[in-house]
Chain A
Amino acid sequence: MRIMNILTAIKDHITVQEATDFVQTPECGGVAVFVGTVRNQTRGKKVHRLFFECYTPMALLEMEKIAQYTRETMGIHKIAILHVSGEKLPGDTVVVIAAAAPHRGAAFTACQYAIDTLKETVPIWKKEYFEDGEVWVAAHP
């Protein structure tokens, strides 16, 4: 979804470049970027691969809400929030957030808020595959 100043997407493959290209603008001197990748272990157990399932239409709406909120309250001009779906391997990029503001403080704040909130509200689920089984992350207390 590409509204003026906001880019959100869920797809098989995402890059840092497309996020920074989108937010880059002459009036913004600061671009903060968060990149999330697949960790190769969880609590000492080797992770072979991950699978991301998305309720895509709702996930995009929730990502857009996050983006709108950062634009309205944190002084950033542009933001991109990208997430992958499907199977991923250790080292693969799975989430990219880029925020651009005239000064760095707002960009850092928006980036941090966006990733923290994405992890709490956006309907995307991660399954970890280990040698001896698989588990939906954070499903149980």
Chain B
Amino acid sequence: MRILLFGIAKDIAGAPVIELETPVQQVAALREHLYNRYPRLRELRSCMIAVNKVYAGDNEALQPGDEIAVIPPVSGG
């Protein structure tokens, strides 16, 4: 399972893309996995997950082949 990272989340992970060897089934589980692997993500103001380019709720299921991205607090404009 491939995860895209942006902004400060990319800096914290040290890479723009990471691989999960054991796929997770749900957004909440993915966030928990990421928080354990990169504890500094917990310090952020927010940490959203996008699935197929749409913000996803905690209960959303993850399917193989989904485009998954970690969205730290945005600051455009």
A interface list, Cβ under 8 A from B: 36, 52-55, 57-59, 61, 83, 94-95, 115, 118-127, 136-141
User: Which A residues lie within 8 Å of B7 (CB)?
Assistant: 53, 125, 127, 136, 139
User: Which A residues lie within 8 Å of B75 (CB)?
Assistant: 119, 124-126, 136-139
Assess whether B45 is in contact with A138, with CB atoms less than 8 Å apart: yes
Q: A120–B75 Cα gap in the complex (Å)?
A: 8
In the complex, the chain B residue whose C-beta lies closest to that of A36 is B77
Task: Kindly provide the distance from the CB of A9 to the nearest chain B CB, expressed in whole angstroms.
Answer: 13
Assess whether B44 is in contact with A120, with CB atoms less than 8 Å apart: no
Assess whether B76 is in contact with A118, with CB atoms less than 8 Å apart: yes
Assess whether B76 is in contact with A122, with CB atoms less than 8 Å apart: yes
Q: A140–B73 Cα gap in the complex (Å)?
A: 8
Query: Does B29 make an interface contact (CB < 8 A)?
Result: no
In the complex, the chain B residue whose C-beta lies closest to that of A127 is B7
Kindly identify which residue among B4, B10, B77 contacts A118, using a CB–CB cutoff of 8 Å: B77
